[in-house]
Amino acid sequence: MVELPVPQVGDPDLPDLPVSMPSPVLEAIGASKRYRRGGSWALREVSLVIAPGTITALVGPNGAGKSTLIRSWIGFEGLTGGSVRIMGIDPTADRAAAVGSIGYVSQSTALYRGLTVADHLSLARTMRHGFDAASAELRLEQLDIPLSQKAGTLSGGQAAQVALCIALGTGAPVLLLDEPLASLDPLARHDFLNLLVAAVRERGATALLSSHIVSDVQAACDQLIVLGGGRVTLQAPIAQSVAEHRLVAAGTAPPEIIVATFARPGGESIALIHSSDPALPPPTLEELVMGYLSAARGVTAATGRRVA
Amino acid sequence: MSRAVWLTWKMHRFEVIAGVLLIGLLAISAWIVTGHITSLGLSDACWPRDADGNYATNACDSLMNDFYSITSSEGGFVRIGLALVAPIVGLILGVPIVARELELRTTSFAWSLQASRSHWLASRALPMLLVAMVAFVVLGIMGSMFFDTLAVGRQGAALTEVASGGAALVARGFMAVGVALLVGALTGRTMPAFIIAAIVVVAWSVMGVTMIQAQLSHGWAVWTPSNDDSWQAGQLGYIAYVDHGNFDTTKPGEDGQPGARFDFDTLDREAIATCGNAPDDDSGESAEFRAWADCADPIYQRGNDAGWNLTVPASRYGDYVAVDTLASLLVGGSAILLTFPVVARRRPS
């Protein structure tokens, strides 16, 4: 097995924390993972920190390693190299403490098909000490999801909302949401994000939302992490990221400030550059993400509604 | 706790109902057949049979006919059921506890809520195990009653039916639950787990147990004259046959054998040495042959009287049951205990 170098705090590879930044809630330090010896890397030396009280979008194409990274924080995946921490806890050393700090919504939002929504709340109450069933019930009522309905008869959006309400009911300081929007229609995605943002802001929690639907996360999230090819290609506040980049026609900018060149759907070739020049048009979040993913792949890509 | 049990019941109610129904039907069937046999009033007075195989009285003949009629029809079905149902129900109840949750991906939901996967597994497995054990105990009692009535007609449980009643049946069912639980956790797929667990349980029940029984039989077997039919007078005879031999009890034997081992070649040589070669007379009517026979017959009669069987007396049956019970409990308990680290290391799908 190839031993990967594990960056330590203070290494140049680690993103710099602002001087005033409190202790990070989520950390990855040189996190690497591959599922088979000799296989491709799902994560490759990923180092990042997420500050408390933020809602961070983890964006990347399918297979970028988003789920692997999230599942490593909750102890569902062991790493091949490096480490992750949640609230300073290494989930491989103390999984119980790590799980106790997390409210988690999985990609499949798999609920027990034969159990009612109320049964799920009962289940959560038996499994998680201090689970706030009353608040979960209240949220579900507000969402018009009947407690007596069986999970197997819920729509995808309703199932995701039930899963989110249960994750919120845990009262956990950290919410990890692994592509809960993937199979939802636009209205369901809107409702889900509204519920998420309101609950997280109200409680001062920290949320990490992975998605490959860039347009949805823009309104809900304040931080952005772009993961491409198993590596972090961009981590910054969304507003700052957009403000510090511009779009120009391909071939018109000096190479040293070009992030990537890619084609728009109409075929027009454009370049994403590091610049705050007010005379140039800023990119949309989708174009920004597209640029960084293109840079990670080293190829020209066409923009689309989805990054993938 | 009661809420957790209720939710476990809701998750697994179909297999619990199916298992309890299977065991309930078989237990009732065994009870009915046991009642039929008991009502015959067959007793030890019908034994022993005479040299022609007739029972003590004509009434006994009639009773035995009725007895064989029951045991070869509905009794036969009960016998097969008692051998198979407990392990099958054990598999039905044990496999889905972990395998279905992994398959349907509900483990992601559950394991993200419950800090301790051991508690999660215990909360799922213990209620199922409790239901299974109660059902197995009921079936074990009915199985024992059934075989007790068969024993009156000298048709008691064979060694291959050690686990068809009593504590061994309960233990065999427990073993099946344990193996099914472990295989389900390892595979994470219900149907493959069911098939693999079934293969393991059958392999253990047939090959594993047979090997253990063979070892025990060699240790517990005793030499008995082959013409000893004293068992017909009230005992069950032997439960396992190990070997046969001819022994000259007038000469010392080795390794606990009743005398010096010999075969009919030895007698042939002795007859020739004492009486000469047998005259060439196919009819055996000639005076010459009769004279030779008068000389040789006592020699060959020694061979007829010298047949011994190495068998395990039926009184040892309880010892086989005890060993089978302990071995099954050991396998099942180990499988259940191993499931905990497997679940702890398992990646939810």
Q: Read off the pLDDT of residues B153-171 as tens digits, 9 standing for 90 and up.
A: 777 778 888 899 999 999 9
Q: Residue A102's closest CA among A154, A168, A183, A47? A: A168
C-alpha span between A6 and A32 (Å, rounded): 9
pLDDT tens per residue across span B177-224: 999 999 999 999 999 999 999 999 999 999 999 999 999 999 999 888
Residues A290, A216 share a domain: no
pLDDT score, position A15: 47
Sign of the four-CA dihedral B218, B224, B225, B226: negative
- Per-residue model confidence as pLDDT tens for chain A (308 residues): 333 343 333 344 444 444 455 688 999 999 999 888 888 888 989 999 999 999 999 998 888 889 999 999 999 999 999 999 999 999 999 999 999 999 999 887 789 999 999 999 999 999 999 999 999 999 999 889 999 999 999 998 899 999 999 999 999 999 999 988 887 888 888 888 888 999 888 888 999 999 878 887 888 899 999 998 788 989 999 999 999 999 998 888 888 889 988 888 778 888 999 998 899 999 989 889 989 888 877 643 333 333 33
Question: Among partner residues B10, B111, B123, which is closest to A115 by beta-carbon distance?
Answer: B10
Residues A259, A230 share a domain: no
Would A2 be classed as within a structural domain? no
Question: Among partner residues A76, A96, A126, which is closest to B116 by beta-carbon distance?
Answer: A96
Q: How close is the nearest chain A Cα to the Cα of B128, in Å?
A: 17
ipTM: 0.83
Residues A258, A216 share a domain: no
Q: From edge to edge, which strands make up the β-sheet containing B307-313?
A: B222-225, B307-313, B238-248, B260-262
In terms of Cβ atoms closer than 10 Å to its own Cβ (0-12, 13-18, 19+), residue B5 is middle
Which is it for strands B307-313 and B222-225: parallel, antiparallel or unpaired?
antiparallel
Alpha carbon distances (Å) from B248 to B44, B192, B229, B275, B299:
34, 58, 20, 20, 12
Residues A163, A99 share a domain: yes
- Among A206, A235, A264, which residue terminates a domain? A235
Domain that includes residue A252, residue range: 244-297
Q: Tell me chain A's radius of gyration from C-alpha atoms.
A: 20
C-alpha span between B49 and B233 (Å, rounded): 9
- Contact yes or no for B112 and A119 at CB 8 A: no
**Which residues of chain A lie closer than 8 angstroms to B3, CB-CB?**
122, 125-126
Q: Residue B89's closest CA among B20, B143, B26? A: B20
**Which residues of chain B lie closer than 8 angstroms to A99, CB-CB?**
111-115
DSSP code for A240? H
Q: How many domains does chain A have?
A: 2
Residues A203, A265 share a domain: no
Would A281 be classed as within a structural domain? yes
The answer to whether the CB of B348 falls within 8 A of the CB of B107 is: yes
pLDDT score, position B230: 59
Q: How many helices (H) and strands (E) does chain B have?
A: 11, 4
Would A306 be classed as within a structural domain? no
For tokens 């069911």, name the residue. Answer: B194
- Contact yes or no for A122 and B7 at CB 8 A: yes
Q: Which of A159-163, B258-262, B299-303 has the highest mean pLDDT?
A: A159-163
Would A304 be classed as within a structural domain? no
Would A13 be classed as within a structural domain? no
Residues A200, A273 share a domain: no
Residues A218, A271 share a domain: no
Sign of the four-CA dihedral A165, A166, A167, A173: positive
Question: Among partner residues A76, A108, A114, which is closest to B347 by beta-carbon distance?
Answer: A76
Amino acid sitting at position B14: F
For residue B117, the chain A residue with the least C-alpha distance is A96
The answer to whether the CB of B246 falls within 8 A of the CB of B299 is: no
The helix-helix angle for A156-169 and A133-142 (nearest 10°) equals 150
Residues A276, A194 share a domain: no
Residues A120, A103 share a domain: yes
**CATH number of the domain bearing residue A230:** 3.40.50.300
Element (H, E) at B257: none
Q: From edge to edge, which strands make up the β-sheet containing A269-274?
A: A245-249, A269-274, A258-263
pLDDT score, position A102: 95
Element (H, E) at A200: helix A186-203
Would A159 be classed as within a structural domain? yes
- Contact yes or no for B113 and A127 at CB 8 A: yes
For residue A114, the chain B residue with the least C-alpha distance is B11
- Among A181, A213, A235, which residue terminates a domain? A235
- Among A191, A213, A235, which residue terminates a domain? A235
B-interface mutation test, from A74, A76, A87, A109, most B Cβ less than 10 A away: A76
Would A268 be classed as within a structural domain? yes
Which residues of A have a CB under 8 Å from any CB of B? 71, 74, 76-77, 95-97, 99-100, 102-104, 106, 108-115, 119, 122-128, 131, 163, 166-167, 170
Residues A188, A273 share a domain: no
SS3 category, B17? helix
Q: Tell me chain B's radius of gyration from C-alpha atoms.
A: 28
For residue B103, the chain A residue with the least C-alpha distance is A110
Would A8 be classed as within a structural domain? no
C-alpha span between B347 and B50 (Å, rounded): 69
Q: How close is the nearest chain A Cα to the Cα of B12, in Å?
A: 9
Residues A214, A250 share a domain: no
- Contact yes or no for A124 and B113 at CB 8 A: yes
Residues A228, A191 share a domain: yes
